[in-house]
Chains A and B, each alone.
Chain A
Amino acid sequence: QKEVEQNSGPLSVPEGAIASLNCTYSDRGSQSFFWYRQYSGKSPELIMSIYSNGDKEDGRFTAQLNKASQYVSLLIRDSQPSDSATYLCAVYSSASKIIFGSGTRLSIRP
């Protein structure tokens, strides 16, 4: 079982709609959860972090965490073509490293 699992996509969403990205993790002791955005050919950029159950909103982005279900999600409202990228879910649980999922490719169609 992979430690952090994501659907690889591609996920195609019309412009202006809500994009929903999902992630599950295996370590119940995980403490911190992150979403990174990676444009093609570029390095990953941290866009959201969440530490407690519930929702965290930042502009058009909302991260959701459910520790009982070991589930993290990212919602992007009013999707724009510039949101087309690969989104990486990442989890910090122990040791000195963060575990990444393999990423979900998101495509926003005009």
Chain B
Amino acid sequence: SQTIHQWPATLVQPVGSPLSLECTVEGTSNPNLYWYRQAAGRGLQLLFYSVGIGQISSEVPQNLSASRPQDRQFILSSKKLLLSDSGFYLCAWASSLGYGYTFGSGTRLTVV
């Protein structure tokens, strides 16, 4: 069966520090991968998605970036965090979009 792993679960980082969040999927190959952010009490904001290794589409211009170095690995990064980067970061995967996404357990990031 397919599983998605996302870590860490909670992160507190100072303003201006770097960020690296990792997501991996097991039990499938060539998945579509997604990074979402959810601010407190708000909806899901799509940040990046990838349909293959090295293929990244950005939805929102900001100080975040994403990379997909391996088929089932998706990384979200920042060189310098801002207070506004705080939120709940969710990784998701799909083999076929007709069947919906499966989300990871999320990372709650607080920038202080």
Task: Using CB atoms and an 8 Å cutoff, list the residues of chain A in contact with chain B.
Answer: 31-32, 34, 36, 41-46, 49, 51, 88, 90, 92, 96-98, 100-103
Query: Quick one: which of B34, B42, B57, B98 contacts A92, CB cutoff 8 A?
Result: B98
Q: List 21 A-B contacts (CB under 8 A).
A: A31-B98, A32-B97, A32-B98, A32-B99, A36-B100, A43-B103, A43-B106, A45-B103, A46-B100, A88-B44, A90-B100, A90-B101, A92-B98, A92-B100, A98-B100, A98-B101, A100-B43, A100-B44, A101-B43, A102-B43, A103-B43
Verify if B64 is at the interface (C-beta below 8 Å from A): no
The answer to whether A32 touches B44, judged by C-beta atoms less than 8 angstroms apart, is no
A-B contacts counted at CB < 8 A amount to 51
What residue in chain A is nearest B57 (Cβ atoms)?
Answer: A96
- CB-CB under 8 A from A46, the residues of chain B are 100-102
Main secondary structure of the interface of B (DSSP, over half): strand
B53 to A: closest C-beta gap in Å: 15
- Chain B count of residues within 8 A CB distance of the other chain: 22
What residue in chain B is nearest A97 (Cβ atoms)?
Answer: B49
Task: Using CB atoms and an 8 Å cutoff, list the residues of chain B in contact with chain A.
Answer: 32, 34, 42-44, 46, 49, 51, 57, 90, 94, 97-106, 108
Q: In the complex, what distance in Å separates the CA atom of A43 from the CA atom of B44? A: 11
The answer to whether A96 touches B49, judged by C-beta atoms less than 8 angstroms apart, is yes
A36-B100, A49-B100, A97-B49 given; name 16 further pairs at CB < 8 Å.
Answer: A31-B98, A32-B97, A32-B98, A42-B106, A43-B90, A43-B105, A44-B90, A46-B100, A46-B101, A51-B98, A96-B32, A97-B34, A98-B100, A100-B43, A100-B44, A103-B43
What residue in chain A is nearest B97 (Cβ atoms)?
Answer: A92
